Structure 1
Amino acid sequence: MTHRFPIKEIARQAGLGTATVDRVLNNRGNVSLQTQLRVSAAIEELQAQEAQLAARGRRLFFDFVVEAPTRFSHEVKAAAEAVLPQIGTAVCRPRFLLQEIMDEGEVVEALKRVTRRGSHGVCLKLRDTARIRDAVAMMTAAKIPVITLVTDIGDTDRLAYVGLDNAGAGRTAAYLIARTLGDMKGTILATRSHERFLGEEEREKAFVKALADQNPNLQIIAVQGGSGVDFETSRLLEQSIDDVHELSAVYSMGGGNHSILRTLDHYGLSAKIFVAHDLDRDNRELLLQRRIDYVLHHDLKMDMRNLFNRFLAWHGLTNGAENTPISTVQVMTPENIPTTGGPSQRAPFRGQET
């Protein structure tokens, strides 16, 4: 039984005699299973107490580097700040670099600055490119733990991924659309914010495969780019749907849904079902207005708790689990999201008279 505590200390914690503890630790006879369990529990308790003592007064600085629309970055920052008061193990100080669009060079320079300055942990929501992978390798070589959020970065020694089960989300979107449309033929618009976000790529692959299995009559128009920002999203969308005369469904994997809807309205297109991602302020508004039908959501606060706990475990300040749980997708509708108003404030169904 591995431990680093004096026998007297273990005996005091377990409420046993030193001779009994000595027999357990050295695998001698005449020891009951219950006594062995009491000694094991005492060692675990001492390890936890040691971690708390080590952390007392300790300040840790964590860096968040996020490329995402402001509406989503705001949700990430708010979730991180909301869970910090619940972490009593150490004083955690987050530092945020949040931008809607960052070119590869900007990202690499930002990660170099973090490495030079030093950090107790870095959370990244970035594109998966060769230069960014190299920058992540530079950080991990400098003994800085890296966790990816929502979208992963492949072929790196990052500590963990936290966020949504992206493939599961893609399959869920396919299920909702296939159940709504049945066996009918039609055109599906599937949008991504950027081709290099691995999480959205995982969503799309799973979506395409599941939809083909459930309804092979549906044709998919894939649009990539725009970074979820209004103007760029509209411009790219206009280039792709100019010849589309009827639209059955929309699966928006990367945001920019106000822009998508405005562009569809301009072309006189109205989808029978619209599936989006993330319950940010924009999507909450569109969902309650019934402009979109479903939002595939996950608990960012839980992601942040998992993230900080994993960082603290890496520093030996908690007895955290080795595996970080992946968030399962939650299907949000106008009827099951928290609202401050009553039914009278909800928008009518599509086609319902007001």
Structure 2
Amino acid sequence: MTHRFPIKEIARQAGLGPATVDRVLNNRAHVSAQTRMRVAAAIEELEGQEAQLAAKGRRLFFDVVVEAPSRFSTEIRLAAEQVIPSIGPAICRPRFIMQEIMEEQDVIQALNRIAKRGSHGVLLKAKDTQKVRDAVDQLTSAKIPVVTLVTDIDVKSRLAYVGVNNAGAGRTAAFLISKLLRNASGKVLATRSHERFLGEEEREDAFVAALKHSHPQLDVVSLQGGSGVNRETSKLIEASAADLNNLRAVYSMGGGNQSILGALDDRGLKPDVYVAHDLDRENRELLEQRKIDFVLHHDLSGDIANAFRTFLSYHRLTSSFEGPTISTVNVVTAENIPTSSPHLQQRALL
């Protein structure tokens, strides 16, 4: 059993004699399983105490780099500020770089600046391109851990992914639409904010496969672009209106739902089922007005807390965190909208 603590210190923590602890550590005979468990637990407790002492008063900076519409980046900022006080004894400070549309070079420049000035962790939501992957590799080589948020980057060097199970979300959307449309035929509009967001690609692939299996008579019309920004998304819908006759459903993976609904309404198109993602203020209002039917929601605050705890674990400032878990998809309707979380209440005062 590996350890770095004096035998007497382990013995005091375990409430055992030093000789007994020595027999356990050297794997000698005539030691009960319960005694071995007490020694292992004592070492784990000492590691936790050591991590707390190391972290106490230490100042850490986490950089949050996000390409997203302002309605969603605001959710991320407020969620980060909400969870920071609860993640550990260290003094953690988030720094934000957020834009509605970030070209590849914008992301690279931001990550290069972070590498130059230093950081204790980067939480990244960006398009999956080769140059972004290379920049993530460079950060990792500089001992700056990278965790991706909501949409992943296809690079092994990133430390972890936090966010929703995107394939599961796509299958859930297909399930909801197929149950409500039953034997109907027609078109289903599937919108993504950009072709290079890997998370949205995973959603769409799973959605199309599941819908084809359950309802082959429904034709999926896929649109990509707009970055979830209302004006650009509206233009995208307007340019594709001719392909949307007999529209039965919409699965919106990348936002801009107010604009999608407006553009469809201008052409007399009213889908029977509308499934969206993320319970931001716009989608909350659309649910309340019953203009959309379902929002696939996940615990954003929990995702960000998982990311920050992953950074602490990377720097050996916590010993009990086992790593982030993928968020569960929750289906929200007009009948079960959650009460406002603290960061949503804070935003309402801004």
User: What TM-score results when the alignment is normalised by the length of structure 1?
Assistant: 0.94
Distance 1:264 1:324 in 2: 39
Question: CA offset at residue 320 of structure 1?
Answer: 4.2
Distance 2:258 2:211 in 1: 25
Residues 199-221 of structure 1, C-alpha deviations (whole Å, 9 max, x = no match): 00000000000000000000111
SS in 2 for 1:242: helix
SS in 1 for 2:190: strand
Question: CA offset at residue 154 of structure 1?
Answer: 0.4
Task: Quote the residue 1:160 is aligned against.
Answer: 160
> Is 1:336 matched with 2:349?
no
The 5-angstrom pairing of residues 1-354 of structure 1 reads 1-339=1-339
Distance 1:100 1:166 in 2: 21
SS in 2 for 1:10: helix
Contact in 1 for aligned 2:306/2:323 (Cα 8 Å)? no
Distance 2:247 2:274 in 1: 10
Distance 2:209 2:194 in 1: 20
Question: CA offset at residue 20 of structure 1?
Answer: 1.3
Contact in 2 for aligned 1:310/1:320 (Cα 8 Å)? no
The aligned amino acid for 2:153 is: I
Question: CA offset at residue 246 of structure 1?
Answer: 2.3
Distance 2:5 2:134 in 1: 41
Question: CA offset at residue 184 of structure 1?
Answer: 1.3
SS in 2 for 1:158: coil
Using CA pairs below 8 Å that are at least 6 residues apart, which structure has the higher relative contact order?
A: 2
Distance 1:136 1:23 in 2: 46
Contact in 2 for aligned 1:225/1:236 (Cα 8 Å)? yes
User: What TM-score results when the alignment is normalised by the length of structure 2?
Assistant: 0.95
Question: CA offset at residue 321 of structure 1?
Answer: 4.2
Pairwise CA RMSD of aligned residues?
A: 1.1
The aligned amino acid for 1:285 is: E
Distance 2:110 2:244 in 1: 42
Structure 1 pair 166–17 and aligned structure 2 pair: CA distance change class (3 A):
same
The aligned amino acid for 1:313 is: S
The aligned amino acid for 2:307 is: L
Distance 1:82 1:194 in 2: 29
Residues 27-50 of structure 1, C-alpha deviations (whole Å, 9 max, x = no match): 222222221111111111111100
Residues 153-177 of structure 1, C-alpha deviations (whole Å, 9 max, x = no match): 1024100000010000000000000
Distance 1:197 1:33 in 2: 50
Distance 1:245 1:103 in 2: 34
Distance 1:156 1:7 in 2: 39
Distance 2:145 2:139 in 1: 7
Contact in 1 for aligned 2:57/2:89 (Cα 8 Å)? no
Contact in 2 for aligned 1:153/1:198 (Cα 8 Å)? yes
Contact in 2 for aligned 1:251/1:274 (Cα 8 Å)? yes
SS in 1 for 2:202: helix
Contact in 1 for aligned 2:189/2:244 (Cα 8 Å)? no
Residues 11-36 of structure 1, C-alpha deviations (whole Å, 9 max, x = no match): 11111111111111122222222211
- Identify unmatched segments of 5+ residues in structure 1: 341-354
Identity of aligned residues (%): 66
SS in 1 for 2:240: helix
Contact in 2 for aligned 1:187/1:221 (Cα 8 Å)? yes
The aligned amino acid for 1:163 is: G
Task: Quote the residue 1:346 is aligned against.
Answer: none
Structure 1 pair 323–88 and aligned structure 2 pair: CA distance change class (3 A):
closer
Question: CA offset at residue 317 of structure 1?
Answer: 0.6
Q: Say how many residue pairs are matched.
A: 340
Contact in 1 for aligned 2:251/2:276 (Cα 8 Å)? yes
Residues 86-127 of structure 1, C-alpha deviations (whole Å, 9 max, x = no match): 123311100000100011111111110000010000000000
Question: CA offset at residue 58 of structure 1?
Answer: 0.5
SS in 2 for 1:248: strand
Contact in 2 for aligned 1:190/1:223 (Cα 8 Å)? yes
Structure 1 pair 339–317 and aligned structure 2 pair: CA distance change class (3 A):
closer
